[in-house]
A and B are shown apart, each in its own frame.
Chain A
């Protein structure tokens, strides 16, 4: 059971480039989300999805797009990378809609540097 898998683990982009961070889970979780973690800060929610075909914005959605065509995959797209998007990105998935079912399982993270 792989859990939540993120690729790549490391990425360096030039300003203005676009790329997609991949996230896949094999736990049949309905809920998936993307967070970014900046130095000395907690994780902040970028986008989330409550099921295939449904996505919504979190706290810091600007500059990012998501889609959810399958239950398993939830890619995060950077449209035009900026230095302010240098961060560590975490994907998470969870089974239920609240309470004890909300336990989120996190991937190992993608460390992105924009130069």
Chain B
């Protein structure tokens, strides 16, 4: 079956440093991946996505890297700010339903001022 998981449950970084959050997936047929940010008491918020035919995609201060060979996904946040403190989830849609998301367990990012 499909599974999406994260290597590290928590990550602490100094303000201004870069953050890297990792994610592994098991379904080689997955074709679309998304990163979500969830702040305390709120619903997940879309950050960035990437299709399986891409290796890298950049947004504002964020970059997603996809390594299909080892089925690994990462989210890089540049110049991490206190407002970046949250739980980050990777999700994939696979083939079971275009908008049905399979989430990993999440990584809690804490930014130290």
Contacts and interface: CB of A to CB of B under 8 A. Distances in A.
A47 to B, nearest CB: 10
B51 A106 contact: no
B99 A48 contact: yes
A92 B99 CA distance: 10
B44 A102 contact: no
B32 A102 contact: yes
Given A33-B99, A48-B100, A94-B99, A100 B49 contact: yes
- Which of the four size classes fits the interface of chain A? 20 to 34
B51 A104 contact: no
A97 to B, nearest CB: 4
Nearest to A42: B103
A107 B43 CA distance: 6
Contacts of B91: 42-43
A89 to B, nearest CB: 10
A26 interface: no
Interface string B90-113: 010100011111111110000000
Given A103-B46, A106-B45, A44 B99 contact: no
A57 B109 CA distance: 32
Contacts of A105: 46
Nearest to B5: A42
A99 interface: yes
Contacts of A94: 99
Contacts of B97: 48, 50, 56
B34 interface: yes
Interface in A16-41: 31, 33, 35, 40-41
A44 B103 contact: yes
Contacts of B102: 45, 59
16 contacts: A33-B101, A35-B101, A40-B105, A42-B103, A42-B106, A43-B89, A43-B101, A48-B99, A90-B43, A90-B44, A94-B99, A99-B32, A100-B51, A103-B34, A106-B44, A108-B42
